[in-house]
Amino acid sequence: MKLKEKLTGIVFLVLALSSISALVLITVFIIAQGAPVIGEVGLFKFIFGMTWSPSKGEYGIFPFIVGTIAVTLGAGIIGVPIGICCSIFLTEYAPDIVRTLFRPAVQLLAGIPSVVYGFWGLIYIVPFIRNNIGGPGLSILAGSIILAIMILPTVISISEVSILATPKEYKEGAFALGMTHWQAIKSVLLPASRSGIIAAVILGIGRAVGETMAVIMILGNAVAMPESIPDPVRTLTTNIGIEMGYATGSHREALFATGIVLFVIIMILNASAQYTARGTRK
């Protein structure tokens, strides 16, 4: 019996180490491929350079960083309030039958391929922006709307779990003090589940930062600094996705270096989510 338990422990240890090993191998591979061009160009010039022209040996990704931040920020501004409001509705207001129908629908949103979101945005969102706001339609605004929809399942699900994990005594105490239902939610439930909601927002933002296919189709992919939200833009992920198929030499290395920057951003976001989630467990 003891031997069986030891073997089981060893199997689980090997499986855990294999997952970590995969992460380490990916990290080492990306750094090994991208570090040479960073050393050649210079880290500061690579990150803050304004010109991306591989044919001339110029690799500045700052416009892509700005595009990534702009689209992600827009997705957060649109999607986060909607997601939190939906989670409040599901936990506090929705009848059982509505809750039963709504939750699978939210999960279905997470399962839809990103290319489908891109097609939908290309057919409906882009023409609407072009006809009513101006510009080519392929823009930061279009990307923000699509990404806002794509992050909703993450924000709604994790926020809902966080609110449900709040002890019932908190709300009962609020009612005992004479608070209305909304006052109890605003003053007690939301502050008590703040850490989990913040973790949901961070994970949703991480999802938006790493999205590629949908935003390739609707951002316009202009290699230039955007001046307003109806302008086309290119993000870090779309730049890699568009050019990796034909890149060679230092151009290919520069795309891997772009992946290093993206990898660092995602790691920071995930670490922040883990830190805030730890606060929820405490």
pTM reported for the whole predicted model: 0.86
Taking the C-alpha atoms of residue 83 and residue 192, their distance in angstroms, rounded to an integer, is 18
Q: Does any domain span residue 1?
A: no
Side chain identity at 158, as an amino acid letter? I
Taking the C-alpha atoms of residue 209 and residue 68, their distance in angstroms, rounded to an integer, is 7
Q: Does any domain span residue 47?
A: no
Q: Does any domain span residue 33?
A: no
Q: Does any domain span residue 152?
A: yes
Taking the C-alpha atoms of residue 127 and residue 138, their distance in angstroms, rounded to an integer, is 9
Q: Does any domain span residue 219?
A: yes
| 1 pLDDT more than 80 | no
Domain count, the chain: 1
Q: Does any domain span residue 188?
A: yes
Q: Does any domain span residue 276?
A: yes
pLDDT of residue 128: 92
| 261 pLDDT more than 80 | yes
Q: Name the least confident of 14-23, 153-162, 190-199, 245-254.
A: 14-23
234 within 8 A of 258, measured Cβ to Cβ: no
75 within 8 A of 125, measured Cβ to Cβ: no
Q: Does any domain span residue 42?
A: no
**% the chain with pLDDT above 90:** 23
The closest of 42, 32, 19, 40 to 263, measured between CA atoms, is: 32
The CATH number covering residue 69 comes to 1.10.3720.10
pLDDT single digits (tens) 186-198 = 888 888 888 888 8
Structural domain including 225 reads 52-281
pLDDT single digits (tens) 36-64 = 888 888 888 888 888 888 888 888 899 99
Mean pLDDT of 119-131: 91
DSSP symbol at 90: I
